[in-house]
Amino acid sequence: MTLTEDRPGRGPRGGRPRPPAGTRSPSAPRALLRWPRAATPWIFLAPVLALFGVFKFWPTLWGMYLSFFQVRPYLGNKWVGWANFRTAFHDAALRSAVEHTVIDALVTVAASAVIGFGLALLLEGPARHLRILRTAAFLPVVTAMVAVAELWNTILYPGGYGTLNTLLGHLGLGPEPFLSSPHSSLASVMLIQVWKSAPYDMVIFVAGLAGIDKQLYEAAAIDGAGAWHRLRHVTLPSLRPVTTIVITLGIIRGLRVFTEIYVLTGGGPAGSTETIVTYTYKQGIQNNQLGLASAVSTVLFLVTVLLTCLTLWWRRRKEA
């Protein structure tokens, strides 16, 4: 209703008493738009909650449920207890996928942060040419991951004709196999991921740098601190909150890496770039092991929840 709490029973104009909440207005079309006041927030929230319910919570809960079944499309599901989890735990392919995922998440997040920080130091400032350079360097971030993967698939083509190999050839190096060898495939994927995410970190750090009080630098300079000491004792501590957020969110997001891996290598060669999500996708969609895939996804979900809660708890404790 239109009434506010502090003016009970008073109408819009002239103090005419209003009908109590919930009564129908005499004009029929407007009556459709009337509802009890307590329902208002729920009506505004209804579309989002319905969508989340159907496309987020239902699949999540169903996935947890399926984890305990052998899913058989026409025969009905068969309860198998913890068997899917046990199978997953003993699967060497999954174990190496977990390994790749963790390495990939940690290395790319750390490398992006370091390179992004370097870029920010180089390109920070209000000058026009710096703005243009920042905009240019940011282009990989907005480019769809699929296009980035396609592009780098060609650049990293293994033969001597490959674009980067041609370049390396001029320098007397290579040719490198890049994505086509199990020894260098994961490193090549990580290179591409860092290429796409380092400029993102750059923009965050640029904003962080701009927020540092310039007087701190002057004070440090007067105290005789050299460039390195100012970086070490003024810049880095000031950026610590931003950095922890960039890193924790990056790692949590990194655990669910899929698109770039699937498009670049499909998890190969010889499983050398298999990650948790490419593994579940293959088990679930290609091998029809829906129960096993659900079990792995459930564990991934729970780990994500745990890490997110830890991050939130840790940040709140720091702020308090």
Partner 1 sequence: MSAPTTALGLRMPTRAWTRTAVRAVLYAAVLFVFVMPLWTMLATVFSGSTLKTGQMSLFPGHFTLTNLRTAFRFGVGRGLLNSVIVTGVGLFLQITVSAFAAYALARKKFRGQALVLLAILATMMMPEEVIAIPLYLVLGKVPDPLGGGDLLDSYSGLILPVVGWALPIYVLTGFMKTIPVELEEAARVDGARDLRIFFQIILPLCRPALGTCAVFGFLMIWDQYLLPLLVASTPHMYTMTLVVTSLSSSQEQPEGVRMAASLMLMVPSVLVYLGLQRLFERGMLSGSLKG
User: Which residues, 18 to 37, sit near partner 1 by CB under 8 A?
Assistant: 33-34
Candidates 21, 22, 31, 52; binder of partner 1 (CB under 8 A) is 52
Q: Does 70 bind partner 1 (CB under 8 A)?
A: no
Asked if residue 113 lies in contact with residue 247, where contact means CB atoms within 8 angstroms, the answer is yes
Candidates 15, 31, 36, 55; binder of partner 1 (CB under 8 A) is 55
What pairs with residue 78 in β-bridges? Answer: 70
Q: Does 223 bind partner 1 (CB under 8 A)?
A: no
* CA pair distance 302, 147, nearest whole angstrom: 31
**Bond before 41 cis per omega within 30 degrees:** no
Query: 68 vs 152, which CB is nearer to partner 1?
Result: 152
Candidates 151, 168, 187, 247; binder of partner 1 (CB under 8 A) is 151
Query: 42 vs 89, which CB is nearer to partner 1?
Result: 42
Nearest CA-CA partner of 283 in 110, 60, 6, 84 = 84
Asked if residue 174 lies in contact with residue 165, where contact means CB atoms within 8 angstroms, the answer is yes
* Paired tokens of 144: 């769809």
**Residues within window 274-313 making contact with partner 1, judged by CB under 8 A:** 277, 280-281, 284-285, 290, 293-294, 297, 300-301, 304-305, 308
Contacts of 212 (CB under 8 A, 6+ apart): 234, 235, 238, 239
> What is the nearest approach in angstroms of partner 1 to the Cβ of residue 269?
16
Measured at the CA of 75, the angle between CA 70 and CA 77, to 5 degrees, comes to 30
> What is the nearest approach in angstroms of partner 1 to the Cβ of residue 117?
11
Q: What is the rounded radius of gyration, in angstroms, for the C-alpha atoms of the chain?
A: 28
Query: 98 vs 123, which CB is nearer to partner 1?
Result: 123
**Residues within window 109-148 making contact with partner 1, judged by CB under 8 A:** 119, 121-127, 129-130, 133, 135-140, 142-147
Candidates 47, 81, 172, 224; binder of partner 1 (CB under 8 A) is 47
Asked if residue 79 lies in contact with residue 291, where contact means CB atoms within 8 angstroms, the answer is no
Q: Does 54 bind partner 1 (CB under 8 A)?
A: yes
* CA pair distance 125, 136, nearest whole angstrom: 15
Query: 23 vs 154, which CB is nearer to partner 1?
Result: 154
Per DSSP, helices labelled H in 172-223 are 185-210, 214-222
> What is the nearest approach in angstroms of partner 1 to the Cβ of residue 21?
12
Q: Does 317 bind partner 1 (CB under 8 A)?
A: no
> What is the nearest approach in angstroms of partner 1 to the Cβ of residue 302?
9
* Paired tokens of 152: 């780098």
